[in-house]
């Protein structure tokens, strides 16, 4: 799916210039993100946590296809949040609908784009792991 949501402001983000590691908890899968491979052409912003996860076989629920129209891709940034783009007002509004929000850690995976200046650890809440493959 994917695409653009015409009802939100364009997100601001900076793509990485160097390789960095993105690790997913609780299973511990690790991806070495190579900036030359972005965009992966999956769902969410190019280089977003969702884009990277899906293109490496790591499922995160994403009911709207990564266009900031749901909150099913809610994840926790355990480490490396300061290297990610700022949360937009539209993302904040959507996070209001997410369950178990943790201030300072909660992000929507489709909108969270690390800039590669540090490694990032993401925790996927159990209810957001998409166990059914399409």
Query: Where do contacts with ligand FES occur on this chain (CB under 6 A)?
Result: 62-64, 66, 68-73, 94, 108, 110
The number of beta carbons lying within 10 Å of the beta carbon of residue 37 is 12
Residue 63 vs residues 22, 73, 122: alpha-carbon distances, Å = 22, 8, 19
The dihedral built from the CA positions of residue 129, 50, 78 and 12, taken in this order, carries a sign that is negative
Q: How far is the CB of 116 from ligand FES (least distance, A)?
A: 21
Q: Which helix (H) or strand (E) holds 93?
A: helix 89-95
**Given the complex with ligand FES, which of 36 and 89 has the nearer CB atom?**
89
Q: How far is the CB of 96 from ligand FES (least distance, A)?
A: 12
**Given the complex with ligand FES, which of 36 and 57 has the nearer CB atom?**
57
Q: What are the percentages of helix, strand and coil residues in the chain, rounded to 5?
A: 15, 20, 65
Q: How far is the CB of 60 from ligand FES (least distance, A)?
A: 8
Q: How far is the CB of 94 from ligand FES (least distance, A)?
A: 6
**Given the complex with ligand FES, which of 32 and 63 has the nearer CB atom?**
63
């Amino acid at each position: 799916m994917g695409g653009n949501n015409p009802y939100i402001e364009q997100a601001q983000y900076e793509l990485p210039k160097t390789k960095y590691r993105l690790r997913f908890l609780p299973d511990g899968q690790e991806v070495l993100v190579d900036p030359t491979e972005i965009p992966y052409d999956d769902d969410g912003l190019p280089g977003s946590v969702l884009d990277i996860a899906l293109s490496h076989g790591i499922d995160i629920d994403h009911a709207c296809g990564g266009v900031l129209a749901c909150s099913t891709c809610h994840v926790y940034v355990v480490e490396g949040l300061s290297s990610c783009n700022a949360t937009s007002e539209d993302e904040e509004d959507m996070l209001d609908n997410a369950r178990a929000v943790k201030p300072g850690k909660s992000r929507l995976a489709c909108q969270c784009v690390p800039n590669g200046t540090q490694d990032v650890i993401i925790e996927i809440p159990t209810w957001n792991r998409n166990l059914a493959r399409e």
